[in-house]
Amino acid sequence: MTAPLWLTDPFRAMIDPIDRETFFRDYHEKKPLIVHREDPGRYAGLLSIARIDDIVSSIDLREGALDMARSEPPVQREDYMFDTGYVDRGGVANQYRQGATIILPQLHMMDAVLGEFCRAVESLLSCHVQTNIYLTPPDNQGFNTHYDDHDVFVMQIEGEKLWRFYETPVENPYRGEGFRPDAHKAGEPVAEFVLKAGECIYVPRGLMHDAQTHGDTASLHITLGLIVKTWADLMLEAVSEVALRTPAMRHSLPPGFARPDFDRTDAEVQFRDMAEMLAREMSVDGAMDFFVDSFIRSRVPNTRGAISNYLAPNSASQTFKLRPFVPWRFAGDETENVIITAGGEVRFPAEAEQGLHTLLDGGTVTAASFVGQDDSAAIETLGKLHAFGLIIPV
C-alpha cells in the first residue's frame, strides 16, 4: 500500500506546486502563501470530522485538551466543562450546535496519525511542530481579527473557510508577544479568499487575519504551528557559553547602579570591552551543537510496531532500514557507540560500530551486517534499535 503524500513528503503536500527553494527564498517569514488546487481528497486519512466526533464522544478529555470559541457571544468555560476538570461532552455538542468552534490543541500528542505527520515536518524544518484543530459549524466565526506569534500552515481538511489578511503591525514577533486589539487595528483587508478542502496557506507570524466558515457545511482545518529558535536565541546561548569560562562576565553590576545619581561612564566602557571580547570568543559551533542535541532529544519517539512486531529482530535473515524522518546524531569512542535520538540516548557496544554506520549511512542491515558481533549480540543490537524506534523491517 502506497503511503500518502502528506507522510512521505509533507512539505510538498502542503505547498505544491511551489517548490521548497522558492518557498524559503520568497515566502518564509516574508509574506503569505495561498495554494489553491482542485484536490479535495489530498489530506484524506490525516483527519476528518468523523474522527473528531469519535475523539470527543469516546475519550475523557481533561481541561486543556479541548477548548471552544465563538466571536459573538463568547463561550464560557462552564458551558462545556464540568467542575471536575473534565469536558462535558453534551455541553460541547450543544455549544457547537449554537455556532461555537471546537478546538483541539496539541491533538498530535494523542493522535498517532497527526503525531507521525508532525514528526515528518519536524525532521525537515528542525523546529517543534504542533497542531491546533478547528471545527467550525456553518456560517460562524471562532476568533476575531488577530495575529499569531509563530508561523503557521493551515490545511483545509473538510468544508470551506473565508479568510481575510490584513497588514503586519509587528514583523516576526517574539514568542509571547501577543496581539493587542487596542494597539493593532485591522483596517481594510489586503486579501480575501476562500480556502477549500485539499488547499493550504502559509501565514507568517505577525500577519493579522481572521476567518469564518463559508458555505452550508462545517469547516475542519489543521493549523500547523512552527515553534522555532531564532538568531537571538542562538546569540544568547553563545554569550552564556562564553560567560561560563569568563569570570569577569559573572561579576555583579556596579553597586548602586539603580540610584538616580549613578554615573554610567565606567560601566559603558566596561560594557563595550565585554562586547568586543564576546565578538572574539563566541562560537557558532558550540551554541549550534547545543541546539541540535536539545532539538533531537526533545522529539517524541516513534515506536510504532515495536510492540506488535517485537519478534522481528529475532530472525537473522530479517532486513531493516532506518525509520524515515527519525532524528539522530552519532557519537562514540573506543568503548561504546551512542546514538542521540528522540527521547535521549541509545547505547551500543563498540563492536556494533560497522553495522551502525551502514545503517546511518542509508543502507539496509541484517544481523550479518554487525561483523564485530556474534549472532546473539547482533540480534540484541537489532532488537534495541527496533525497540527505540530507530529501524523498521524492510
**CB of 355 within 8 A of CB of 381?**
yes
Domains of the chain, by residue range, sit at: 5-227, 231-295, 312-393
Query: What confidence score (pLDDT) does residue 332 get?
Result: 83
- Would you say residue 142 has pLDDT above 80? no
Q: What is the pLDDT of residues 120-139, one digit of tens each?
A: 999 999 999 999 999 999 98
The pLDDT of residue 334 is: 82
Distance CA(387)–CA(304), nearest Å, equals 9
- C-alpha angle 377-378-381 in degrees, rounded to nearest 5: 90
pLDDT digits (tens, 9 = 90+) for 242-268: 999 999 999 999 999 999 999 999 999
pLDDT score recorded for residue 184: 80
pLDDT digits (tens, 9 = 90+) for 292-350: 999 999 999 999 999 999 999 998 899 999 999 999 999 988 899 999 999 999 999 99
- Cβ atoms 225, 149 nearer than 8 A: no
What backbone torsions phi and psi does residue 229 show, to the nearest 5 degrees?
-95, 140
Dihedral of CA 5/6/11/16: which sign? positive
Mean pLDDT, the chain, integer: 94
- What average pLDDT does range 347-376 have in this prediction? 96
Residue with cell 524506534: 389
Residue 117 DSSP code: H
Distance of alpha carbon 94 from alpha carbon 80, whole angstroms: 8
Check whether 3 has a pLDDT greater than 90. Answer: no
312-393: which CATH number, 3.90.930.40, 3.40.1350.10, 3.40.640.10, 3.40.50.720? 3.90.930.40
pLDDT band at residue 1 under the 50/70/90 scheme: low
Q: Using an 8 Å Cβ cutoff, are 301 and 341 in contact?
A: yes
Query: Measuring CA to CA, which residue among 319, 301, 310 is closest to residue 355?
Result: 319
Region of 325 on the Ramachandran plot (φ > 0 left; ψ -120 to 50 alpha; else beta): left
The pLDDT of residue 179: 82
Class of the 5-227 domain? mainly beta
Is 207 exposed, middle or buried (CB count within 10 Å of its CB: 0-12, 13-18, 19+)?
buried
pLDDT at 180 over 70: yes
Confidence of residue 187 (pLDDT cuts 50, 70, 90): confident
Residue bearing the bigger pLDDT, 144 or 85: 85
Q: Are strands 320-322 and 101-105 parallel, antiparallel or unpaired?
A: unpaired
- This prediction has a pTM of 0.91
Q: How many CA atoms lie within 13 A of 104 on its CB side?
A: 25
Q: How much of the chain exceeds pLDDT 70, in percent?
A: 99
Inter-CA distances, 276 with 171, 269, 271, 272, 279, Å:
29, 11, 9, 6, 5
Beta strands (DSSP E) in 127-218 are: 128-136, 151-158, 160-165, 191-196, 200-203, 209-214
